[in-house]
Structure 1
C-alpha cells in the first residue's frame, strides 16, 4: 500500500502494492482503482529512492522452491552449531524470528520452519538482475548491499517523468521476477532510507519536497542511522526521544555525544542531508570472518582458521584489483569478549600467502593456546595510499611483532605469485571450491553455516 506524506490538496491514490498504469495518456498521471487517471502533484527538486528487497534471501528460496511458498523459511546457520539467522521470511516473523538472532533461539520460536544454509551465488545473480533494472531507470545508482540500493531519479527537462511513476514501475518489474521490494522516496538519502522501512513488504512510502520535518519529527531517534545504543541512552537521558527533539537539540550537547559527526546528525534530523547518490564510494575494508560450531583452542586450529580467512580476503582483493597497507585480526572468545589487533605494512599487498604468517604472529598478541576461540576475522584496509609497485611486503619496522622476522609461506616472490594466479584462474572458471589448501579443507565442517549479506566489503 502506498503511503504519501505532504499532500494538502491532492492525494496520490493508495494502490495495493503500487503498480502504475503504463498507458500514454499523460506522463504524470496515475490510475485510480476505478481506472480513472488522476494528475500527480508536481515534484520539484531532488528525488532519491531506496529500493530494499523484501526478506531477500528467503524470498529467492521460496521462488526457487514453490512448495516453500506461504511457509516460514529461515536462511541461516545450524541451530546446533551456534549459527545465526541471516534472513527470515515474513511467514516466520510473527513467531519472533529476526535477522542476527541465534539459530537455536529461532528454532525454539518457530519449530516448524524450513531451514536452509542459503545459495549465495543464486542471490548474487538475482541481485544483479534487479540492479540492472535500476540502471535502466537511472545511471545514478549506489548499491549499498546485495539487497539495497539508492537511485537518483530527480526530474530534469530531458527526463521529466514523475518520480512516483518510476518507483511504481520499479516495483512492478521486480515483482515480475518473483520477489518484491519496498521503496522509500524523498528528497534525500536519509529520508529515502527511513521511508523504505515504513511499510513492508512491497510498500511505497513517499515524502514530498518540503515535508521532510513533518515526516521525521515524530519518529524515535533510533530510526536514523548513525545513532547507536550508547548515543540513544545519552540522548534520552537529556529528554531527547524523537527526531523532532533531536533537530532542536543544543549543539554543544550534540558535539559532546557525536563529536565531529554532530553537524551531520543535526542536518539529517532537520531533513537537510545533502549526501549525493554516488557509485564510486571507496571501499574502506575487505574482510571475512568465521564463527565455529565448536571452540578452537590449539595452535593448529587457530592457525588454520586464520589462513582460511586470509585466503578469502586475498582472493577478494585480487578480484577487485586492490591492495592494502594494513592487516587486522579479530577474535571473539567463548565468553563473547572480543579482542583485535592490526599492523601497518610498509608496502601495500593483496598476497595472502605473504601476510598470513604475520596474522598468525599477531594472534599471539591477543590469544594464548588453550583459550577457547569462537570467531576469527581478518581484514585488510588502508587503500587510499596504495602504491603501484609491490616490493618487500613486511618492512613494518617498529610496528611488527617482536621476535624473529616474519616470512611468507612461500619465500620466492615469483613462485608465490604464480601459485596465487593459477588458483585464481581455476576458481574463476570452476568456482571457489574447485581448489583449496589444506587449512581450508580442515575448516570446511567446523563453521556454523551462517551467511551474511556483506561478508567481505565494507564502506
Structure 2
C-alpha cells in the first residue's frame, strides 16, 4: 500500500515594523512613541512607520509632508539602510541554520517549508521556539503563522500583528478566511477590490462561492485563481533562498588596452545595464564584485558587501572603488566584469531612505524610457567613451 504524502507545513515569519524596530534598538527613547522612517525633511516619502503612527492613517509610500499633517507628534528618523541590511542578514543566518527550506521573500519576510518535521519535532513547538530564538538573539519583534500553504500563512501572519502567532490547522483554511474582507488577500489591490465589490462580493467567503463564469467574464483566467485562493488553495512552493544567485556582465575587448578612461567608462555602462536588470526583476543586491583579466590571463577579483540597493549611483561608487583597488596600470587589460550577488526579492527598488525623492523619480523615468526604447536609450555621459 502506497504511503500517504506528508501534510505540508509552511511557516511565515514577518519582522514587525522592521525598520522602526531597528531604530528603536539603536535609540531606546523611541520605544512606544510614534515614529516615521524616511527622511528628516518634508521632501521624502514614508519608508516605514510604527504602529503608534499607523492609527492616525499614516502608511508606507505616503509623502512625509502629508504624514506630518496626520500625525504632527511623530518623530522623524532618516533611516539607516546599512543597519537594516545587517539585521536582515542576522535573522536570515539564524533561521537558515535551523530549517530545511527557507525562502527570503523580502528584507524582513521569510517562508519556511517544515513538511516532514512534525514527525520528529512537532512543527508547532519548533516554530514557537524558532521565534523565541530570533527575538532573543536579535531583539527584534516578530509575528508568524503556521499553515498548510504560503497564502494562508501570509494572511494569518498579517492578522495577528504585532508580536502575534497563530496556527491554521489543516482543513480549517476556508473557515479561517471566510470572515475576512477581500482586501486581506495578497494580490487584490485597490482597483481589483473596487471591481469585486461592484459584484456584491465583500468577504473571502463570498468570493469563494462566486460564479466562475461571471468572474472569468470580469477578470479573465485570473478570476478562477481568485476563487481558488479564496478557498484557501495555493500550491506555490517555498523557493529555497540562495545568495549564489547573481546578475553579471563581462566584456572581452578586441584588443588589450591601457586606456584607464575607457575602462572606467565601460564600468559605468556595465553597472547601469545590470542595475536596470536588477530593478526590472524587483530585486536588491547586497554584494558587488569587479573582475579584471590582464593580457597575460592573470585575473584580479575583488568583492564587498554593501547595503541592499538597486540604485545605479550607489552601486557605481562601490564598483569604482573596487576597480581602483584592483587595477594595475602597468598591465594591459583583456577583460573586465561586474557582478551583483546576494540578491533579495523585495518591494524596495532603491534606497527609500534618502531625503530626496528626485532620485527615485529620475530612475522611474529612465526605466520607463529604457523599457520602451531599449536599454541603451538612456546612458550616463561617462559611459559613452570609446577606444
Is 1:76 aligned with 2:38? yes
Q: CA 1:279/1:97 → structure 2, altered by over 3 Å: closer, same or farther? A: same
**For 2:377, which of 346, 354, 358 is the aligned residue?**
358
More helix by share: 2
Distance in 2 between the 1:138 and 1:101 partners? 36
Corresponding position: 1:63 with 2:84: no
The offset of 1:341, in angstroms, is 3.2
| SS of aligned partner of 2:369 | strand
Cross-structure match for 1:342: 370
Match of 1:286? 278
Q: CA deviation at 1:184?
A: 1.6
Structure 1 residue 232: Cα displacement:
1.3
> In the alignment, which of 98, 115, 119 is matched to residue 80 of structure 2?
119
Query: How do 1:165-314 residues align onto structure 2 when only pairs under 5 Å count?
Result: 165-176=125-136, 177-279=138-240, 286-287=278-279, 309-312=311-314
2:14 and 2:51 map into 1 onto residues whose CA distance is 14
Equivalent residue for 1:410? 385
Deviations 1:309-329 (A, max 9, x none): 54457779722399xxxxxxx
Q: 2:10 aligns with which of 24, 45, 48?
A: 48
Q: 1:138-168 CA deviation, whole Å, 9 max, x = no partner?
A: 13111111010111112347x5222211221
Q: Distance in 2 between matches of 1:248 and 1:160?
A: 38
Deviation at 1:331, TM superposition (A): 9.0
Q: Which residue in the other structure is 1:89 paired with?
A: 50
The alignment partner of 1:141 has SS state of strand
- How far apart are the structure 1 equivalents of 2:126 and 2:361? 45
Q: CA deviation at 1:241?
A: 1.3
Match of 1:102 in 2: 63
In 2, the alpha carbon distance for the partners of 1:125 and 1:151 equals 21
CA distance in 1, matches of 2:240, 2:220: 27
Per-residue deviation, residues 56-107 of structure 1 (Å, max 9, x unmatched) = 11111111112222222221124421x1111112232333332222111222
Deviation (angstroms), 1:221: 1.0
Would you say the 8 A contact 2:100–2:114 is kept in 1?
no
Where structure 1 has 5 or more consecutive residues not aligned to the other structure, the ranges are 1-43, 290-307, 323-329, 347-354, 362-405, 413-459
- Does the 8 A contact of 1:264 with 1:273 survive in 2? no
Aligned to 2:52, what secondary structure does the other structure show?
coil
> In the superposition, relative to structure 1, how do residues 321 and 199 fare at CA in structure 2: closer, same or farther (>3 Å)?
closer
Report Cα offsets for 1:202-231 as digits up to 9, x if no partner.
100210000001011111111111212222
Change (3 A) 1:331 1:97: closer
Q: Which residue of 1 aligns with 2:96?
A: 135
Q: TM-score, with normalisation over the residues of structure 2? A: 0.65
CA distance in 2, matches of 1:106, 1:203: 27
Equivalence for 1:389: none
User: CA 1:113–1:360 in structure 2 vs 1: closer, same or farther (change >3 Å)?
Assistant: same
